[in-house]
Amino acid sequence: MCGFCLWQLISSTQDGEPPAGKLAVLGLGLLITGVMHCVFMMQIVQRTGRNVGAWFVAIVIFMPIGSAVLLALLLADGDDAQA
């Protein structure tokens, strides 16, 4: 959803002056999807017993990379538990 909002926001600005309402709705869409992403990732961190504060900072500052690192660590932990 975030990618769709960003795509629409960028494409609407290419056509000239976009309506303010459209920009506001797309901006809210970006904000809400970003917040929901952080909430989802923090639920995963909390369930695994990791330090929530440190991971929250990592995910917010390094949005796509922090999430990818967290998911890679969780998958590695899952593989070790199955072996």
| pLDDT for res 66 | 81
Read off the pLDDT of residues 16-68 as tens digits, 9 standing for 90 and up: 888 888 888 888 988 998 889 888 888 988 888 888 888 888 888 887 788 88
Cα(78)–Cα(83) distance, integer angstroms = 9
Write down the residue that tokens 């309506």 correspond to.
19
Cβ neighbourhood burial of 45 (10 Å; 0-12, 13-18, 19+) = buried
- Model-level pTM? 0.71
Q: Provide the H-helix boundaries in 1-83.
A: 2-14, 20-48, 52-61, 63-82
Instruction: Report which DSSP code applies to 17.
Output: S
| pLDDT for res 81 | 60
